[in-house]
Amino acid sequence: MRYKTNALRCLGIDPGIANTGYAVVVRSARGYQLVTDGLIKTQPSEPTPERLLTIYKVLCEIVDCELPDILAIESCYHNKNISSSMKTGGVIGVVQLIAAQYGCEASEFTPQQVKASSGLGGTADKKAVQRMMSKIFRKRTLNHHIADAAACAIAGLLQ
């Protein structure tokens, strides 16, 4: 059962088959607070279905524990490596499945929208997003996957 408060809780996800960053951000009258964050790593030697299952299980544990209202996903950046894009698309599918399973709203944001949500504009580089997320949350320098996930969570809360 979900308990609603005035604060909204968003699980932001920077999807990747090797490294999936996540960040749970709460919006309250006091601003944004980073509740938890982390990185889900999978091994290239494992078959893709096993890697997706690992990501699924860890994200389900996070949703069970943190009870987000929204899941915000950074959309797949299309590059020349189609195999990599397809695997990232698989991770996005896992996140959408979890949202449906748990009855959460799921929103997908382009990398430019995620960067803009951090107050930097859509052309900021990864280092700038890392610095801004560290400043917003008054935290150590965040891993760039985690910083992207945190910015994605803010985008989800701003929509």
User: Per the domain annotation, does 87 fall within a domain?
Assistant: yes
Residue 2 lies in a domain: no
The range of the structural domain enclosing residue 19 comes to 8-158
Length of the chain: 159
Q: Is the pTM of this model over 0.75?
A: yes
Residue 1 is assigned to a structural domain of this protein: no
Higher-confidence residue: 128 or 145?
A: 145
Domain count, the chain: 1
Is 3 domain-assigned? no
pLDDT in tens, 10-60: 999 999 999 999 999 999 888 899 999 999 999 999 999 999 999 999 999
Considering only residues 126 and 61, tell me which one the structure prediction assigns the higher pLDDT.
Answer: 61
Over the chain, what is the mean pLDDT?
88
Does some domain include residue 111? yes
Is residue 70 in a domain?
yes
pLDDT of residue 2: 45
Residue 65 domain-assigned? yes
CATH at residue 112: 3.30.420.10
Asked if residue 103 belongs to a domain, the reply is yes
Helix (H) or strand (E) holding 10: strand 8-14
Look at residue 149 in the predicted model and tell me its pLDDT: 95
pLDDT tens, position by position, 51-104 = 999 999 999 999 999 999 999 999 876 666 667 778 889 999 999 999 999 999
Q: What values do phi and psi take at 3, rounded to 5?
A: -110, 120
The helix (run of H) or strand (run of E) holding residue 61 is helix 48-66
Q: Using an 8 Å Cβ cutoff, are 151 and 129 in contact?
A: yes
Token pair of 157 as six digits: 């809360």
pLDDT for the residue numbered 1: 39
